[in-house]
Amino acid sequence: MLITGCDCPGAFNQPAKFNNQSGNVTYSQIGTFNRNGYTSFPLASGLVMTTGNVSLAAGPNSSGGATSSVSNYYAESQLASLATDDINGSASLEFDFIAMADEFAFNYVFGSEEYCEYVGSSYNDVFAFFLTGIDPVTFAVTTKNVAIIPGTVSTPVSINNVNSGNPCGSGGANTTYYINNPSGNGVEYDGYTTALSASAVIFACQTYHMKLAVANVGDNSLDSGVFLEEGSFYSPRVQVEEDWTMPTGGDTLIQNCRELDLNFEVERPSLTSTTSIVINTGGNAVLGVDYFMTMPTGDALTVENNSFFFPSGETSQLVHVRMSPNVHYPENQPTKTAYLYVVTQGCTGFGNLEECFRKFDTIVLHLRANDSVQLRDTAITVCDKLEYVEVTREGGTAPLTYEWIPATGITHPDSLATECLITESANYKVAAYDQWHCMTDTADVEVNIVPKPEFTVTYTPDHGCVPLPVTLQAQYTPSTAKLYWTVSSDTAYQYVDSAVTLHPSLPVPGYYDVSLLVESAPGCSDSLLYPGVIHVSDFPHAGFTFSPAEPENGEEVFFYNLSTGENITNYVWNFGDGHSSYVEEPSHAYHLTESDLMTVHLTVTNSDGCSDDTVQVIPVEDNFAFFVPNTFTPNNDGHNDVFLPKVNDVVNYEFVIYTRTGELIFYTNNTGQGWDGFLEEKPAPEGIYVWKINYAKIGTPNEMMARTGTITLVR
């Protein structure tokens, strides 16, 4: 039988032996036991080895006790040093083992029929558990009994050392570890020990030899036996459980973020206070520089002394591993690696046991710097819809993962820059993190979807004279939109403004374009152009001449227009006598009561209402005359042949001649026509005739006047 706690080098070439014989067990002195319903017996099951036949170990106890029945008699000479008489029938079990830790133990009960009558006599049966191997103190190969009284260094467990006196119950040594059994409790023996532990400090990964032996002393009359508890042979191998501060990320230490707790565990509490764990380091990361290991107390494990003890009675011990917070790794420098070889103190006592170390728990750690990452908050205002969005990242050299929350409308929610289709205003969060969730940050993304603007424009007036003050005004939605006005003329003049209402004065003649751009968000705008909608005119220049230069009263005066300017549409003449005209070149006759200077005023206006005026003074001569001769001689001598009154500057003229009897003989309304002295184509007789003239002066055409008189016709 081979018993091992690790897979270290060094072959086991010695099989287990019973009574110095290997092979199948045929002896009646060894077997298995099970206490079944006798729960007061300290051990439940296991291996039993007796000085007699194992079948006699079963109870109930009978008066006189069981006698030995030894077959295949074997005398165990190694027990002689413990006996007070000759060694007789005995049984021994021996085997080799290698432990994973620097201690081992197993549980047992020793019982005998020699209790209590033979306590103190020479017939004390003996037993021992002999351990042979390298002593961790002296480094020498020694053999020692490990079945000793608890709390002592070398006092063996025996009938004389663990008893309740003679007769039974009268006291004795180490009675704490004794159970009296005079009436039987499933076991034949009159007394037996409590469950005891055999243990020793050893070197881990070294081969040790174990011999378990029990023997009669003096005679073979009464049996003794050793019960070995099933499954109790134990070397506290240390299991290392890695407990990361963040579960994801494999075996990577991260600066100021991801750390590791190494929880060293054993199945049972430490057997001795000397059990310790050693962590041997390797790799290109340096303990104490690139990373640290500390105990829960805060004490550091260093390269020089990287070991610790299990606290008494504890089954676990914690070591905290963290990366140095101030080590900087350039981006082009590979990540460092640390190897932690976990062994027991005993493994370190002999030469190079690298291969053995590797059979224990080996922890591989990678060290990575933790560069910070920062996402910038983003506010976006767009027109109608957003089709692309990007969040700015600063820092962070490791591969990062991104997440948009929510992902509604986002084409690639795992990217900082992504196509999207967002048609309504919304708020998003974008998270960035590495695989260990060490470099993390979030950014708020505010998306404002703004409708395209709608607007109307008014401009008044749309024409006028230079400089023309105008009013431009817009009605628009949304109210937050920005306005950009441009007013430009065909003469390179330009006016730009962003007010809602403008009052520019247009300084040069020409046609003006009006344009308005309304922007509700960057890229969200609409515009209108009104080409040539405002016309600014220059003023015309009024001018004229007239003829004749000095007209007589009642004489027709002709006016000649000399005005200049574009699109003159209106002419207003004021002749100074209350009369006016609206034609381009009028004529006018003055009818004055006397000579006078007349002021003529001309105003010209173009189609845009721009006007100019001018005045000139016209001298009008009043030539009114009224003379009627009293005699005329129609004798064809060329002198005074016609009766013609001298009348100037009259209107509504009527000249009539009557005979003295009142017969009308002549009529005319022409101031230039006179009477030639004929009646019905015959010369009128000499004599006196009556004349009458009706007239009105040119200056007072509505005031008719009449004059009468006589004319003497002489032949």
The amino acid at residue 422 is: I
The one-character DSSP state at 537 is: E
In this prediction, residue 634 carries a pLDDT of: 94
Contact 519, 484 (CB under 8 A): yes
- Is residue 638 over pLDDT 50? yes
Q: What is the dihedral of CA 375, 376, 377, 381, to 10 degrees?
A: -120
Tell me whether strands 362-368 and 252-254 are parallel, antiparallel or unpaired.
parallel
| Cα gap 283→291, rounded to integer Å | 12
| Cα gap 42→58, rounded to integer Å | 15
**What are the tens digits of pLDDT across the range 402-412?**
999 999 999 99
* Cα–Cα nearest to 428, from 380, 372, 374, 373: 380
- Is residue 532 over pLDDT 90? yes
| Cα gap 541→568, rounded to integer Å | 10
Domain extent listing, the chain: 2-229, 239-368, 373-450, 454-530, 544-620, 625-713
In this prediction, residue 62 carries a pLDDT of: 58
Contacts of 491 (CB under 8 A, 6+ apart): 508, 509, 510
| Cα gap 193→202, rounded to integer Å | 26
Report the residue count for the chain.
Answer: 715
Does the domain at 239-368 match CATH 1.20.1070? Answer given as no
Please indicate whether residue 473 or residue 126 has the higher confidence score (pLDDT): 473
* Cα–Cα nearest to 159, from 125, 187, 130: 125
* Cα–Cα nearest to 453, from 521, 545, 358, 389: 521
In this prediction, residue 351 carries a pLDDT of: 45
| Cα gap 293→300, rounded to integer Å | 6
> 């002394």: which residue's tokens?
305
Instruction: Tell me the CATH number of domain 454-530, given options 3.30.460.10, 2.30.29.30, 2.60.40.10, 1.10.260.40.
Output: 2.60.40.10
State whether residue 55 is helix, strand or coil. helix
**What are the tens digits of pLDDT across the range 217-239?**
767 778 889 999 998 887 766 77
- Is residue 5 over pLDDT 50? no
The mean pLDDT value of the chain amounts to 85
**What are the tens digits of pLDDT across the range 533-566?**
999 999 999 999 999 999 988 889 999 999 999 9
**pTM of the entire predicted model:** 0.47
* Cα–Cα nearest to 189, from 376, 58, 54: 58
Considering the domain 373-450, what is its CATH architecture? Sandwich (2.60)
In this prediction, residue 539 carries a pLDDT of: 95
Distance of CA 261 to the CA centre of its chain: 32
For residue 186, the surrounding DSSP H or E stretch is: none
Does the domain at 544-620 match CATH 3.40.50.720? Answer given as no
pLDDT band at 304 (very low <50, low <70, confident <90, very high): low
- Is residue 596 over pLDDT 60? yes
Contact 259, 323 (CB under 8 A): yes
**What are the tens digits of pLDDT across the range 165-199?**
776 767 778 888 999 887 777 888 888 999 999 98
For the chain, give percent helix, strand, coil, nearest 5: 5, 50, 50
**What are the tens digits of pLDDT across the range 330-360?**
655 667 899 887 776 555 444 444 444 444 5
| Cα gap 358→369, rounded to integer Å | 28
State whether residue 212 is helix, strand or coil. strand
Question: Which range among 71-80, 182-191, 496-505 shows the weakest confidence by mean pLDDT?
Answer: 71-80
User: On the CB side of 11, how many CA atoms lie within 13 Å of its CA?
Assistant: 2
- Is residue 72 over pLDDT 60? no
Topology agreement, domain 454-530 and domain 544-620: yes
- b or e along 597-613 (b: 16 or more beta carbons within 10 Å of the residue's beta carbon)? ebebebbbbbebebbbe
| Cα gap 240→261, rounded to integer Å | 10
DSSP string of 617-682, one letter each residue = EEEEB---EEE--SEE--SSSSSS-SB--EEESEEEEEEEEE-TT--EEEEE--TT--B-SEETTE
Considering the domain 625-713, what is its CATH architecture? Sandwich (2.60)
* Cα–Cα nearest to 20, from 73, 86, 60: 73
**DSSP bridge pairs for 235:** none
| Cα gap 665→688, rounded to integer Å | 13
The amino acid at residue 185 is: N
- Is residue 625 over pLDDT 90? no
Read off φ and ψ for residue 382, nearest 5 degrees.
Answer: -135, 170
